[in-house]
Structure 1
């Protein structure tokens, strides 16, 4: 069509009201889709497990440098690390601090300070403390973190590496 030629009424394009109706429909559809996507209930538990693995590795390195055993212990609300002189009481697999040692709970250490779980309560199996020693190679272990129906497994292999499953 040459310039300056008048246009017919049917060739003008979309009106503002038509565009607004389309935008409202797109907004409603977007809101419906975003509300229907349920969050993964295990996401925060997995995030806690990955952070725990990093803190366990830091504690393991601290033990190798310092030489003193560090124990990790959890309850439903969180977990903490403690350094001291540890031994297993007769007839028990649960370590206790000796009377000769004083526990360092790392209250001022950014990496090893006591922490809260993102989702609580978290059940840790087995519930006994984990002792980190200066031995680079040792027996592997496995623990489960559970919150509701979500379960995450944290493992330490014999070479001292930590993994989350």
Structure 2
């Protein structure tokens, strides 16, 4: 009596497939950034650029420009007439400025050291609330740094 050819996968073949899937899953999970942190990073970069734009407009027109946080976004005071309109809303809901300090953006070329802390209302995947600080020493442009918890 002759037995038919063996069909199916060997144990080695199954183990190789499982190992490949495990490696692929690990690489994909490490490559994904936390959604809350990346949204906050975009907001920080955008706000730093907006503050520098308003600072340049203030210097060019010779008028003081003030940035203030509002409950739904932020407001600009003193932008020169005819200047490009700057946005007043956050890109993503849940972003807010911590505190209510105003930033004076000019018209002098050197301003006081100033900072604003941005936070998200939702916690990240590790359970912490992400925060960023947008700050200047008065001479350098506004830069985004990680705020201390």
What range describes the TM-score normalised by the shorter chain of this pair?
A: 0.5 to 0.7
Residue 68 of structure 1 pairs with residue 63 of structure 2: yes
1:115 to 79, 85, 89: 89
Aligned with 1:145: secondary structure?
strand
Distance 1:120 1:138 in 2: 30
Residue 133 of structure 1 pairs with residue 106 of structure 2: yes
How many residue pairs end up in the alignment?
128
Report what 1:155 is aligned to. Answer: 135
TM-score calculated relative to the size of structure 2: 0.64
Question: CA 1:160–1:26 in 2, change beyond 3 Å: closer, same or farther?
Answer: closer
**CA deviation map 1:16-52 (0-9, x unaligned):** x9xxx88898568635753576532322112211111
Unaligned runs of 5+ in 2: 1-8, 124-128
Question: CA 1:84–1:43 in 2, change beyond 3 Å: closer, same or farther?
Answer: closer
Report what 1:142 is aligned to. Answer: 115
Aligned-pair CA distance for 1:66: 0.9
Report what 1:43 is aligned to. Answer: 38
Unaligned runs of 5+ in 1: 1-16, 86-102
Correspondences of 1:84-99 after superposition (within 5 Å): none
Report what 1:30 is aligned to. Answer: 24
Distance 2:28 2:55 in 1: 42
Rg bigger for which structure?
A: 1
Distance 1:113 1:105 in 2: 12
